Amino acid sequence: MSPARTEWSDAEEEIMRATYRALLSHGYADLSMSHIADELDKSKAAPYYYYDSKDELLVAFLDYAIYRFEDGLDTDVGDDPKERLDHAVEKLLPLRPDEKTRDLQAVLVELRAQAVTNDAFREQFSRLDAEIVETIREIVQRGVDDGTFRDVDATRIAEHVLATIIGGRYGQATTDREDAIGAPRVSLTSYLDAELRPRP
């Protein structure tokens, strides 16, 4: 399992952006090198100078998309565990995502589905989910240690948060149900409050 890249040359960045746009308008199942080239405004052959195959390009794109998503997950927001947790939850499952955020999440939903049959994708999403759980777990554990939170199983809480977040995002990206994000987000907050608030 190789670590995800965090830097791209200008040319690669342009290809990644074109792939992103192509994915948004055609979806993963209908994504072709021609569509990417169209968005790139270059010939179909151009991307092959940087990537040996479509597969290799797509694995690179997964790195790129996940990096974009992870960015700023646990940025400096102070020391208060409650604030850090709220901040992480809002980053992971924004109550009112703007269009850019929804687009990125839609693309990630499509990419994640490929992990069912593609091992390289599967490894990346396994790593991503493990990192999210670890981030949440660490925040909760800190709160337990300093008495802000009740003495709970931080890993169990973190796994529940991850599942609810993924579910909320899939609900939003794949249905027209109005409350697909609002409801799980509100009940996630209430769940965390109920589980973590110290007993009186």
Partner DNA sequence: GTCTATAAGATGATAGAC
Partner DNA sequence: GTCTATCATCTTATAGAC
Binding region for DNA (CB under 7 A) out of 24-32, 81-89, 112-120, 190-198:
24-32
CA distances from 179 to 96, 109, 173, 183, 193 (A): 11, 18, 12, 5, 21
126 binds, among a second copy, DNA, none (CB under 5 to 8 A by kind): a second copy
C-alpha gyration radius of the chain = 19
- Site membership for DNA, residue 101 (CB under 7 A): no
In the list 21, 118, 131, 138, the residue contacting a second copy (rule: CB under 8 A) is 118
Site string for DNA, 39-78 (x = CB under 7 A): ---xxxxx-xx--xxxx-----------------------
Nearer to a second copy, 25 or 43 (CB): 25
- Work out the burial of residue 40: count CB atoms within 10 Å of its CB; fewer than 13 is exposed, 13-18 middle, 19 or more buried: buried
Q: Residue 15 in contact with residue 47, Cβ under 8 Å? A: yes
179, containing H or E segment? none
User: Which residue, among 91, 107, 98, has the nearest Cα to 161 in the 3D structure?
Assistant: 91
Greatest C-alpha distance within the chain: 67
Which of 72, 75, 130, 146 binds a second copy (CB under 8 A)? It is: 130
Binder of residue 43, out of a second copy, DNA, none (CB less than 5 to 8 A by kind):
DNA
Residue whose CB is less far from DNA, 36 or 192? 36
User: In whole angstroms, how close is the CB of 183 to a second copy at the nearest point?
Assistant: 3
Per CB under 8 A, 163 contacts a second copy: yes
